[in-house]
Amino acid sequence: MSWKEGGGGFGGGGGPRDPLEILEELKGRFQGRFSGAVPGGLVGIVILVALLVWAATGIYIVNPDEVGVVKRFGKYSRTTAPGPHWHVPYPVESVLTPKVTQVRRVEVGFRTVASGPPARFQRVPAEALMLTGDENIVSCEFIVQYRVRDAQQFLFRVRDPDGAVRAAAEASMREIVGRNLVDDVLTEQREKIQIESGDLLQNTLNIYEGGIQIDFVRLQDVYPPDQVIDSFRDVASAREDRERLRNEAEAYANDILPKSRGEAAERLNQALAYRATKVATAEGDAARFEALLKEYEQAKEVTRRRLYLDAMGDVLSKAKIVMADGKGGSGVLPVLPLDAFAPREVK
């Protein structure tokens, strides 16, 4: 606000008055009272100088990264833009100049002891330990970066901005982590958890009119508590073994299944061919039997004799050779077993 903008100064009105006008008014009053007591109006000059010095203390400059928030008797009066300004000096008005473009940082679950390098950190388990949706405990360390969005709300609604942001961020992260499984928090869903917790944190701060804009929430480190980290490593190792065995089983299945399907198809085709052969053979035998039956019905004795000769021919063709004389055993040796003189196989 420029010096000549109205209100607030001596003499009433809504804003600060011109300081020279105020001084002239005060000078006239004091000269009227003391003109008869002190010669030359010296007291009036002293008072005038004192008032000028007092008025000069109301000059202030707001830097480009700041805004000026003027308080009158401790209550918010107005907000001024970057540049030179003047306000009614103490004890009437005072000015705060918060940096509205500065990115502020809050650490949750840990504190930076030394920026380094190498940087050193101190863990804060009371903030970091959180319960997941499947009732496991993980330690979440994260940072929140924010800026001032509304200087009036930032100065007059929040007593400890960093503490308020840290408490709201911790509550938001606990709620989001509680909605997810431990494996998701440790591995795959970290990006999603960061975004959801940032949105929830912003909504919470908006409800309380904190005048704060959240830039982002970033998980720095998520790990199991030290007391159970060995068990988590065992579980992780077992999970890796499970994945390895599953891959090996899938590779074996991909190798053996095509072969098995090929063998099954081959055997099925053999079975079908065997069935077709047997059916054709049976049908041929049945046709041959019917033809033979027809011949038998026409000439029974001839057919019976032929069948006998065919059967004996089949039997004798597979039997050992037997020689006999034609006189029916009148000789000394009616049967000559030629097989006895055949060479034997040496085993």
User: Over its length of 347 residues, how does the chain's per-residue pLDDT go in tens digits?
Assistant: 444 444 334 444 445 566 667 667 766 665 655 555 555 567 888 888 998 999 898 899 999 999 999 999 889 999 999 999 998 888 888 999 999 999 999 999 989 888 777 788 888 888 889 998 888 888 999 999 999 999 999 999 888 999 999 999 999 999 999 998 888 888 778 889 999 999 999 999 999 898 999 999 999 888 888 777 788 788 878 888 999 999 999 999 999 999 999 999 999 999 999 999 999 999 999 999 999 999 999 988 998 999 899 888 888 877 766 656 555 555 555 555 556 555 555 55
Q: Name which of 317, 318, 295, 316 is nearest 305 in CA terms.
A: 295
* pLDDT value of residue 27: 63
pLDDT of res. 119: 81
pLDDT of residue 6: 40
Q: Please report the pLDDT score of residue 31 as a whole number.
A: 61
Global confidence as pTM: 0.57
- The confidence score (pLDDT) of residue 338 equals 57
